[in-house]
Amino acid sequence: MPIDSKRIIELTSSLPITSNEKGIIATFGVYVTINYNEFFFKLVSRVINMLDNSMGHALEQRLYDAVLECAYHTFHGARSSMDWRDLILPMIQTPEDEIHALVALTNIFGIGYVEVEELIPGEKLVTRVRNAYDPGRYLEEYGPQPRGRCYMLNACTASYMDLVYAAQYPNGMGTFTSTEVLCRSMGHPACKFVAEPKQSR
């Protein structure tokens, strides 16, 4: 495996993230903010707690879709950038390498320590996240949860497969879908996500 994930994280985490004179951060073809993890947890968990189970589930599905768009476009922007061309592309020889590189890149955004657990080319990707912020906070605030709460990392897992194995950008989004099969908010030791082609589910 020629991909050195640690090296990718080291290289990309040192790229400057700075706002311009007008306070706008534009990078990888998207507008970015730096925001407190606790803000997102409070906002989403409070709204979910105002809803019944089915509406809460529908809300999380919409948030999954929002993240899928975010991840699909942002990761494509990243892999099209000069930085990627200079620093990462020389390591990539196969589509599977690209999956590993995109997963490594995800680690610089502050949303958790993401690793590939299993990859079957074009068919299945399993990722594992040991320290996502929200599940720990759900446990603290609300106790064990009835289902996984990590819509963000769930959607990211599908997006890697969409970008690498589905139709060429921008036509492949939603080809794969991901399911959170383990979540720390449910008492599991880590969160685990399985992405597979949508029609196979």
Binding-site ranges for another protein (CB under 8 A): 6, 9-10, 13-14, 17, 19, 21-25, 28, 30-40, 42-44, 46-47, 50-51, 55, 59, 62-63, 65-67, 69-70, 73-74, 107-114, 131, 133, 152
Torsion of CA 186, 146, 137, 15, to 10 degrees: 80
Q: Which residue is associated with the tokens 């991840």?
A: 71
The minimum distance between CB 16 and another protein, in angstroms, equals 10
Token couple for 83 = 């930085």
- Residue at 151: amino acid letter: Y
Q: Rounded to whole angstroms, how far apart are CA atoms 176 and 194?
A: 10
- Nearer to another protein by Cβ, of 105 and 194: the residue is 105
- Nearer to another protein by Cβ, of 123 and 141: the residue is 141
- Nearer to another protein by Cβ, of 65 and 97: the residue is 65
The minimum distance between CB 42 and another protein, in angstroms, equals 4
For helices 5-13 and 95-106, angle between their N-to-C axes, nearest 10 degrees: 50
Q: Rounded to whole angstroms, how far apart are CA atoms 178 and 200?
A: 11
- Nearer to another protein by Cβ, of 3 and 44: the residue is 44
Q: Which residue is associated with the tokens 């769930």?
A: 154
- Nearer to another protein by Cβ, of 66 and 120: the residue is 66
- Nearer to another protein by Cβ, of 11 and 161: the residue is 11
The minimum distance between CB 73 and another protein, in angstroms, equals 6
Report the candidate in 163, 195, 174 with the shortest Cα–Cα distance to residue 28: 163
The minimum distance between CB 172 and another protein, in angstroms, equals 16
The minimum distance between CB 18 and another protein, in angstroms, equals 8
The minimum distance between CB 192 and another protein, in angstroms, equals 17
Q: Rounded to whole angstroms, how far apart are CA atoms 100 and 5?
A: 7
Half-sphere exposure of residue 71, counting CA atoms within 13 Å on the CB side? 30
